[in-house]
Amino acid sequence: MSTATYTVVGMTCGHCVSSVREEVGAIKGVTGVDVDLETGRVTVTSDGPVDTALVRDAVDEAGYELKP
């Protein structure tokens, strides 16, 4: 099991959180996504390491930006 934390900018409401959770959760191997709206922190739990580019693409698809 692997866990990684990212920071997402641009989220302002519960709908934003749901969109990010849904898109990141669709990445192969991801088993859980915890999103904290207040801090923008997204914690991804997975079977193994997940390529950051895949997370970045998923966050972008949701309409937000992964902070470098």
Q: Edge-to-edge, what's the strand order for the sheet holding 30-36?
A: 30-36, 41-46, 2-9, 65-66
pLDDT for the residue 17: 97
Position 10 pLDDT exceeds 90? yes
Q: DSSP class of residue 68?
A: -
How does the average pLDDT of the chain come out, rounded?
A: 97
Mean local confidence (pLDDT), 37-66: 97
Position 48 pLDDT exceeds 90? yes
Q: In the chain, where are the structural domains located?
A: 2-66
Hey, what CATH topology would domain 2-66 get?
Alpha-Beta Plaits (3.30.70)
Mean local confidence (pLDDT), 1-8: 97
pLDDT for the residue 68: 82
